[in-house]
A and B are shown apart, each in its own frame.
Chain A
Amino acid sequence: MLRLEGISLGFDGFTLVADLEVPRGTRLAVLGASGSGKTTLLSVVAGFLAPDHGRILMDGVDVTEAPVPARPLSVLFQEGNLFPHLSAFDNVALGLRPDLRLDEETRSRVEEALSQVGLAAVSGRRPGALSGGQRSRVALARLLLRNKPLALLDEPFAALDPGLRAEMMTLLAELCDATGLTLVMVSHDLRDAERLCDALILMQDGHIVTRGTMADLTANPPDALMPWR
């Protein structure tokens, strides 16, 4: 699904170097300390940052030069996923029609997506009137509706309390199982990663220092992963 070949990007004394393959349906956790390059890696995949060298392939197609909207992916950020002046319904609908000219079919698809995340009853509320967990669900509903094969998650639930975060991870795992979504999730919490993901890479100073399946890494944790346990 996603392949990074010889990617490198340098700025402000920092260099990201990455070679990576993420098969379709994989749920990959990107673990690392602050400044290790997790978000930079995600930004390169999304197209927010252009690599100095290397290629990005999605389903075998080279998208290295492709503009952000042309890439088959959705992104959830840590903050700012919703537009505060729009209702939950409109925020989800933006995923299909940015101009919000909605026909009946689109409306019913939006309603269905909101129902899937349990928010049908509050679809008319603006983000300011929703709880943190509900806001995350709205963003998830839009991600579902867009139906892109790859989802990039940049610690979208970091601001939630542990209980809510666990709840969101479970919901996301169910949605991934149902849709076959490929997922790359940045995190600095190994427990979150274990709860949701089946593969993991650990980043340090812009490099991938550990990689493997979650089952292998949990059974035989390498030294680099020990501080995270």
Chain B
Amino acid sequence: MARRAVPISLSTGAGGAVAALVLAVIALPLGAVLLRADASSGLGPADWAAVRFTIWQALLSAALSVGLAIPVARALARRDFPGRRALIALMGAPFILPVIVAVLGLLAVFGRQGGISAALRLFGLPELEIYGWQGVVLAHVFFNLPLAVRLILQGWLAIPAERFRLAATLGFSARDIARHIERPMLRNVAPGAFLVIFLISTTSFAVALTLGGGPRATTVELAIYQAFLFEFDLGRAALLGLVQVGICVVAGALVIGVARPNLAAGTGLDQPVRRWDAQTSGARVFDGVMIAAAAAFLLLPLLAVVLRGAGAIPGLPPGVWMAALRSVLLSLATAVLAVGLALPMAILIARGRARGLLEVIGALSIAVSPLVIGTGLFLILRPVISPTAAALPITGLVNALAALPFVLRALVPGIEQAEAGYGRLALSLGLSGRQYLRHVLLPRLRRPLGLGAGLAAALAMGDLGVITLFAAPQQGTLPLEMYRLMGAYRTDDAAGAALLLLLLSLGVFWVFDRGGRLNAAT
């Protein structure tokens, strides 16, 4: 394909330099992990158990998420009702929802003191046990069911309306429609959704930290953390880090090989499909139950966080407020860093220069999880400075790398569109370098820049990953402070901190996203 005639002086060098920097910041820690890995004794029984559990729980989480998402997505695809758009928008919220907040909400609903256990006690039935594998899987389904619904809903709404009309004229039954229209779509969409969720679930650390643990519910990432913090066995932590990279690379290769689902799914989901086979009362009731159950599953934990936390915020100890301040500063710095790294790379990708290589570099942080990068950075920095002293900068850097694939995904289409529309005009006017950035690109990138910065800020705000390896007690972020409060059974303070964290995460996302939309050029 011919390259576009666009001003080439801008960012070509900067993009290459940034890509090299990103590669170095990921590859060097990975190299340190590789060198430090103690393969002499191999993996012990507990390590193998962690590998098995990581894969098993990820498979189960993905299967349940996709399996439950199919009827929910179908119901959303073929029903129109007040609040439909809001519910679909809510399906995007778990992406920016701090894991630890969701866990507290799930505990409030599904825990021993939660509403469901209370109802079971009334009927003399045993309470729910949320700690262990079932809690890990439940939390993963909570986070990934909405993603699966959105991906599958996108597939459903991509079916041409004529096909359902044709089915109606040909007298298709619901079974015929499932066979000739729905299943072929699901065969295309569901494997991709399954593998993406499988990949996400293999790298989920905070869920396993808070709800898992013990010999039967320890993931590889949790095992790294335990080897690191409890045993200070850096060789074993590094070896487990390599195992984790292996799992992610295989899962990532499967995602790329089998399907490339649209993770930005969300646009164009507002129009339901007219279906002539879904007018029976049975179908209506079934769809209504599916929609209500999905909404309750997502909303009740959040509602519990709000209700329990509202009264506790005024009495939060000063340490929580200081942690909140650190988190806000960290999330802002992460957003700036993530966008600063992504923009030059995205320009280069949009221009098609070494696109494949740059996309792989941009997505490396999916294969090499933040905890593994953090372990490597710890190994590199330890002989030079106290890793604790660099806890916040390292956390910001690792979070920016973790957000990079999503920020790139937001920016690249916008740049391609701007350059296709205005590149030649800019060239004819002699705009290049900063002028080109200022007059052509940035005005047209306000929306994706806002979205990308919002995602990065929210992800950093809620992160409970690499900070756990580095932070000293007095320099924790808000998620870490909340985790400590939960561990100390200070439930009111934890509930207040959870609500504060929820508000801050949604707040930083809203500020950036809204800011990008204001006066955005099209």
Mark A residues whose CB is within 8 Å of B.
46-48, 67-69, 71, 73-75, 77-81, 83-86, 94-95, 98-99, 146
User: Would you call B166 and A77 a contact (CB within 8 A)?
Assistant: yes
B181 interface contact, C-beta 8 A: yes
CB <8 Å contact, A80 and B162: yes
User: A48, A77, A98: which contacts B171 (Cβ < 8 A)?
Assistant: A98
- A86 CA to B176 CA, complexed, in Å: 13
Interface of B is mostly: helix
Within 8 Å CB of B161, what residues of A?
80
Q: Which of A79, A84, A98 contacts B170 (CB 8 A)?
A: A98
A95 and B166 alpha carbons, distance in the complex (Å): 10
Q: Is the beta-carbon distance between B173 and A98 smaller than 8 angstroms?
A: yes
B280 to A: closest C-beta gap in Å: 11
Given A69-B168, A98-B172, A84-B184 contact (CB < 8 Å):
yes
Consensus secondary structure, chain A interface: loop
Q: A80-B160, A83-B163 are in contact. Are A98 and B180 (CB under 8 A)?
A: yes
- How far is the CB of B133 from the nearest CB of chain A, in Å? 38
* Bound Cα distance from A126 to B169, whole angstroms: 21
Tell me the nearest residue of chain B to A148, going by C-beta: B169
Q: Are A74's CB and B163's CB within 8 A?
A: no
Interface centre among B160, B171, B172 (most CB of A within 10 A): B171
For B162, the chain A residues whose CB sits under 8 A away are 77-81
Q: Other CB < 8 Å A-B pairs besides A68-B169, A80-B161, A83-B163, 8 of them?
A: A77-B165, A79-B162, A83-B181, A85-B180, A94-B180, A95-B170, A99-B175, A99-B176
Q: In whole Å, how far is B162's beta carbon from the nearest beta carbon of chain A? A: 3
Provide a sorted-by-A list of 7 A–B residue pairs whose CB atoms are within 8 angstroms: A46-B165, A47-B168, A48-B168, A71-B169, A73-B169, A99-B179, A146-B170
With beta carbons under 8 angstroms apart, the residue of B166, B176, B179, B274 that contacts A81 is B166
Determine how close the nearest CB of chain A comes to the CB of B212; give it in whole angstroms: 41
Query: Top 6 nearest A-B pairs by Cβ distance?
Result: A80-B162, A69-B171, A68-B168, A80-B160, A98-B176, A77-B162
Q: Which residue of B lies closest to A154 (CB)?
A: B162
A58 to chain B minimum Cβ distance, whole angstroms, is 14
Residue tally, chain B, CB below 8 Å to A: 21
Query: Of all chain A residues, which has the CB nearest B179?
Result: A99
- A-side contacts of B321, CB under 8 Å: none
Given known contacts A75-B165, A81-B166, A98-B170, A48 and B175 CB-to-CB distance under 8 angstroms: no
B180 with A48: CB separation less than 8 A: no
Closest to A95 in B: B170
Check: B276 CB closer than 8 A to any chain A CB.
yes
Q: Chain A residues near B173 (CB, 8 Å)? A: 98-99
CB nearest neighbor in B for A73: B169
Complex CA–CA separation, A219 to B164 (angstroms): 41
Whole-angstrom CA separation of A69 from B279 in the bound complex? 13
In the complex, are the beta carbons of A74 and B160 less than 8 A apart? no
Roughly how many angstroms separate A68 CA and B278 CA in the complex, as a whole number? 13
The answer to whether A85 and B184 touch across the interface, beta carbons within 8 angstroms, is: yes
The answer to whether B169 and A75 touch across the interface, beta carbons within 8 angstroms, is yes
| A62 CB → nearest B CB, Å | 19
B168 contacts which chain A residues (CB < 8 A)? 47-48, 67-69
Bound CA span A141–B508, Å: 59
State whether B166 touches A48 (Cβ < 8 A).
Answer: no
Closest to A142 in B: B170
Query: Residue A68 contacts which of B163, B176, B184, B276 (CB distance < 8 angstroms)?
Result: B276
A69 & B169 in contact (Cβ 8 Å cutoff): yes
Q: Chain A residues near B165: list those with CB within 8 A.
A: 46, 48, 68, 75, 77
Contact between B169 and A94, CB atoms less than 8 A apart: no
Minimal Cβ-Cβ distance residue in B for A71:
B169
Q: How far is the CB of A126 from chain B (nearest CB, A)?
A: 11
A155 to B252, CA, bound (A): 44
Which of B167, B169, B184 makes the CB contact (< 8 A) with A74? B169
Q: How far is the CB of B107 from chain A (nearest CB, A)?
A: 45
* B161 to chain A: closest residue by CB: A80
* Measured CA separation A80–B172 after assembly (Å): 16
A176 to B160, CA, bound (A): 28
Closest residue of chain B to A70, judged by CB? Answer: B171
Tell me, in angstroms, the Cα distance from A80 to B273 when the chains sit together.
Answer: 15
A77 to B162 Cα, complex, angstroms:
7
